[in-house]
Amino acid sequence: MTTKRGGMVALEDAIHAFLREKRVRVTSAYTRVADAWSKNLNAVERAHATPVKFFRGTLTVEVESGVFLHELKNIKNEKYRQQANQDLGQESIRKVSFRLKG
């Protein structure tokens, strides 16, 4: 860790060094939610639907085609949302918003 200005270290550098030294893995809420959501999709759905954002309880998923958009939004949405929340151990995902990629 390099020092700046008379031997002082920037707080950001100190935090990163500490986390590396202690081998702490920092995981964002988005990562946990995206993993839980994706885990419940089958391989074909996973290839065509990508979680892109999680903000204030809403998971936004980009879908590659209208067919998958219809299936995920109208048929499987609530099932996958509930399964992901169960995997997370709490009601993190309150809503799933779908949009076509592109």
Report the predicted TM-score, pTM, of the whole model to 2 decimal places.
0.72
* pLDDT, average across residues 26-36: 84
For residues 3-19, one letter each, b for 16 or more C-beta atoms within 10 angstroms of the residue's C-beta and e for the rest, the string is eeeeeeeeeeeeeeeee
Give domain limits for the chain: 28-100
Question: CATH classification of 28-100, choosing from 2.130.10.10, 3.30.300.180, 3.80.10.10, 3.30.2130.10?
Answer: 3.30.300.180
Q: How confident is the model at residue 13 (pLDDT cuts 50, 70, 90)?
A: confident
* pLDDT, average across residues 60-84: 94
* Closest of 22, 48, 46 to residue 34, by C-alpha: 46
Quote the mean pLDDT of the chain.
86
Q: How confident is the model at residue 21 (pLDDT cuts 50, 70, 90)?
A: confident
CA angle 80, 83, 88 (to 5 degrees): 125
Share of the chain above pLDDT 70, in %: 86
